[in-house]
Amino acid sequence: MRVSRIVLLSLVWACALAVAKPLEVYFVDVEGGQATLFVSPSGESLLVDTGWSGFNSRDADRIAAAAKKAGVKKIDYLLITHYHEDHVGGVPQLAAKLPIRNFVDHGPNGEHGERPDALFNTYVSYRDKGNHIQVKPGDKIPIKGLDVTVVSSAGDVLAGPLPGAGQPNPACAGFQKRAEDKSENARSTGILVSYGSFRIIDLGDLTWNKEYLLACPDNKIGTVSVYLSTHHGMNISGPPAIVDALHPQVAIMNNGAKKGGTAEAWQTIRHSPGLQDIWQLHFAVAGGRDNNAPDTFIANTDEHCTGNWIRLSAEKDGAFTVTNSRNKYSKTYRPGA
- Number of Cβ within 10 Å of residue 125's Cβ equals 12
Closest CA to 255 of 284, 291, 295: 284
Task: Please give the mean pLDDT across all residues of the chain.
Answer: 94
pLDDT score, position 336: 77
pLDDT score, position 16: 47
Q: What is the mean pLDDT of residues 23-40?
A: 98
- H helices of 159-235, in order, are 208-215
Please tell me what DSSP assigns to residue 140: B
**Environment class of 40 (CB within 10 Å of its CB; exposed 0-12, middle 13-18, buried 19+):** buried
In contact, 135 and 106? CB cutoff 8 Å: yes
Question: DSSP letter string over 11-67?
Answer: HHHHHHHHHHPPEEEEE---SSS--EEEE-TTS-EEEE----S-GGGHHHHHHHHHH
Judged against a pLDDT cut of 60, whether residue 142 lies above it is answered with yes
The fraction of the chain above a pLDDT of 70, given in percent, is 94
Give per-residue pLDDT as tens, 116-137: 999 999 999 999 999 999 999 9
Q: Band of the pLDDT at 270, cuts 50, 70, 90?
A: very high
**Environment class of 295 (CB within 10 Å of its CB; exposed 0-12, middle 13-18, buried 19+):** middle
Q: What are phi and psi of 134, to 5 degrees?
A: -95, 125
Q: What is the mean pLDDT of residues 234-253?
A: 98
Which value, to the nearest 10 degrees, does the dihedral of the CA atoms of residues 81, 84, 222, 208 take?
A: -150
Q: What is the mean pLDDT of residues 178-185?
A: 96
List beta partners, residue 201: 192, 227
Give per-residue pLDDT as tens, 198-211: 999 999 999 999 99
List beta partners, residue 323: 311, 330
Judged against a pLDDT cut of 60, whether residue 17 lies above it is answered with no
Whether domain 23-333 has CATH 3.60.15.10: yes
In contact, 102 and 123? CB cutoff 8 Å: no
Judged against a pLDDT cut of 60, whether residue 223 lies above it is answered with yes
List beta partners, residue 330: 323
